[in-house]
Amino acid sequence: MRIIAILAATTLLATTATAETIRVGVTAGPHAEIMDVVKKVGADRGLDIKVVEFTDYVIPNQALALKDLEANSFQHEPYLKNQISKTGWKLVKVATTIASPQGVYSQKYKKLADLPEGARVAIANDPSNGARGLMILALHGVIKLKDPNNVASTLTDITDNPKKLRFVELDAAQLPRALQDVDLVSINNNYAVQAGLNPAVDAIARESAEGPWVNILAFREEDKEKPWVKQLIDAYRSAPVKEFLDKRFKGTYIATW
């Protein structure tokens, strides 16, 4: 019996030592919910995923660069490129995950045409998501931009603002709270869903599903060819995850595979 116990313990230690534990950073809300399903799929395939939640957009990339994570899943490529340009972090996109057409919301008006002159509009204060809010307004003819396809557009790129909209820039996580204080708010979908909004129903205008804003899985450049990277991607792009997206989010988050 003692020999059997020792053999069992040795086997357990060997299994523990060789198991891959992948820490994946996500923002709280939909990305965390999706990764919980990915975690279950990964477990069935021998990949141990630890989901690490964050409440903002800055720390997940910093944590990945500092090797506190092995991957993250919360952002689109323009945002990642913007952070890399400022920091020099050696991070890369390896796969796309979901598309999520973003919307603008109002508690006062049912359509953009109803916005009065001088209406206050809240957008994200980070460059890529701020540009995204402006691009939605340009797409629907509320403002004009120097280049409507420029994912780095800022307020200085507005060439026509016939309603004389007044813009307020806020941290992306704070935008849902601004709904009661301003006339219109551009809210990233993960924060919108977290606040009880359904972008497919509650937004008074949305961007096209086609475009640069597809979400991604990011890794350190040095890790991109490692076997567990492909395992994580395959777990994400699995049938159970797609079924969860269709059932849980009903068109708000759309599989890209």
**Per-residue pLDDT reduced to its tens digit, 175-225:** 999 999 999 999 999 899 999 999 989 999 999 877 899 999 999 999 999
pLDDT at 41 over 70: yes
Q: Helix-strand-coil percent breakdown of the chain, rounded to 5?
A: 45, 25, 35
CA separation for the pair 231, 237 (Å, rounded): 10
pTM of the model: 0.78
Q: Would you list the domain boundaries of the chain?
A: 2-100+213-255, 103-206
Domain 103-206 is of which CATH architecture? 3-Layer(aba) Sandwich (3.40)
CA separation for the pair 132, 128 (Å, rounded): 6
Least confident among 49-58, 197-206, 208-217, 233-242: 208-217
CA separation for the pair 118, 112 (Å, rounded): 13
CA separation for the pair 26, 240 (Å, rounded): 19
Q: Which helix (H) or strand (E) segment is 105 a member of?
A: strand 103-105
DSSP string, 151-218: TT--GGGEEE-TT--EEEEE-GGGGGGGGGTSSEEEE-HHHHHHTT--HHHH-SEE--SSSS--BEEE
Which of these CATH numbers, 2.130.10.10, 3.40.190.10, 3.30.360.10, 3.40.640.10, describes 2-100+213-255? 3.40.190.10
